A and B are shown apart, each in its own frame.
Chain A
Amino acid sequence: MTAPREAGPVLSPAAAARLSRFLVRCHPRRWRERYAAEVLDVLDQCLPTEHTVLDLWLSAVSAQLDPAWRGRPSASAVRAWMGRPFGMFVTISAVMLLLVAGLVGGAAYSDYLGNIGPPMPLSDGTFGMAFSPDGRLVAAINPNLEIWSVADPARPVRLGYSVGDLAGAPGAFAPNGWLLVTSGGPGILWDVSHPTPRPKEIATLPPDHAGGVNQYAFFPDGRILAAANVNGTMTLWDTADPYHPARIATLAVAAASGAPASGGQLTGLTALAVTPSPAAGGPVLASGDASGVVTLWDASDPARISRVVTLPAQGKAPVSALAFSPDGDILASADDDGTVVLRDVSNPAAPAMLAVLHLTAQGRADFNWLGSNIEIAFSADGRTLTAVAGNTAVTRWDVASPRAATRLFTVTGDSLGSGAVAFAPGGTEIAGPPTAGDTLALWQLR
């Protein structure tokens, strides 16, 4: 009688008939004595399908659970077993164990599924690069997070990656070398101590504003994390327990730009730097905004961070990068228009202008630096300052006598693709996406 069904049968009619017969035998004995012959007769007349099988299985289960059908002889053993507290306990425990195993297995499987996408070529839209403090790891955001070992600079090796939707800030390593922060919606804290096959996401920074982050910077103590936000505010986080980061303060610093960021143009608070070694009186924080204004902050008490001085803009371009010399006495700021300013900030309350330097691109006098992603770094001895601009030109100055800073060299190259770049600590290496290929481009500067 069963009508033809639209979908093809899951079970062949013969298999369905066999299974149906078997399921009739799965009913309680008393039920079978009363109905089995009739049901078998009906099964003979109709054409059983997978629906019939499922229906009979449900019928068998419900009859087995029905006290009226649970016959004395066959089910009594089960009932006796379940009647004993120990038997009940063992049965329930086994079911619970199976459930937990299923949940754990399912979670692991979905976790695995989330990470089986192939890594993306770095050259395709790399947003951020960050070197670990020891210079051995590079974090690349593209928008997955990739962790590269650059211990052997000749052969960078991708240790692992986590598929994600990270964007915005380049990311920053904490001084301990294993804690990494990236932005991507809310900021994410990562444990990259075992990055193979993937770095471990350990916490998200609860968002306190709409919009992204332009730059993160850890304090030298590794506890405090500062974020320069696109909306012009600065947020300070306590990451002493990286699994439970806590927001300490949010400060309105720069006017939020009405226009959304476009064409790589920076908006809001655009750059951050913290004095590398805690100077007498606590760390000094420098922030730069989209109008080119640099502000120095007394961060000795991160919960009550206070403005020390506001330095007027040199031009109209956003501050692209900030860097303190290793002794914390000199602050270098690079504007998006290619101007690099050196200031003596040994007394943060009364900074003194030391020099104004200009980036040059050889043979490209009219080069438009705007939005070209300038990064700067002091050497470990503080005697030279290196800038990379537009992923094409690397300029190094001798700043041993900052008032008489001289350009040592400018090299241009085309091996760096478009996207973010990062300096190794001390400015000895630059990591960036390559122009072609699925690897990491490293420049060594001697």
Chain B
Amino acid sequence: MHGKFDDLGRFADPSLLILTSLADGAKHGYAIMTDVAAFSGVAMEPGTLYGALSRLERRGWVRPLDGEERRKPYEITATGQEILSEQLASMQRIVRVGFKRTGLPRTASAWGS
């Protein structure tokens, strides 16, 4: 899973990965890391994770929930949801153009379902 996919991390914005991870429910830090690694293959380090989380929190796109101090869950806010769908739509346009211009088949495997 790693190695080949580690390079993808350079393309993947940590904020986008975190918002995507939180889209299906609140998670605490370590759960976000494992979830991101599972769906994207990107091994996010704690420094990157909390750097991005703090920025997202400051913008009001995620919000910490009450929990024990060491394992605070985070949930995506309504603004965060909007931003995420805008981002995903914009990425989808890029993906469509990318496939068209490279002539790669838009197969299920290429989509990585």
Contacts and interface: CB of A to CB of B under 8 A. Distances in A.
Interface of A: 1-3, 5-6, 20, 23, 31, 34-35, 37-43, 45-46, 51-52, 55-60, 62-63, 68
Contacts of A56: 45-47
Contacts, number: 70
A51 B45 CA distance: 8
A52 B45 contact: yes
Interface of B: 1-3, 28-30, 33-34, 37, 43, 45-51, 53-54, 58, 69-72
A196 B58 CA distance: 65
Contact of B72 (A38, A59, A62): A38
23 contacts: A1-B30, A1-B37, A2-B43, A3-B37, A20-B46, A31-B54, A37-B69, A38-B28, A38-B50, A38-B72, A41-B29, A41-B30, A42-B33, A46-B33, A52-B46, A55-B45, A55-B47, A56-B45, A56-B47, A57-B47, A59-B47, A59-B50, A63-B51
B30 A45 contact: yes
B47 A40 contact: no
Nearest to A58: B47
A39 B70 CA distance: 8
Chain A interface main SS type? helix
A57 B46 CA distance: 11
B47 A52 contact: yes
A42 B29 contact: yes
Which of B50, B58, B72 has the most C-beta atoms of chain A within 10 angstroms of its own C-beta?
B50
A308 B58 CA distance: 89
A3 B51 contact: no
Nearest to B58: A68
B40 to A, nearest CB: 13
B3 to A, nearest CB: 6
Contacts of B45: 51-52, 55-56
A112 B97 CA distance: 54
A42 B49 CA distance: 10
A234 B88 CA distance: 71
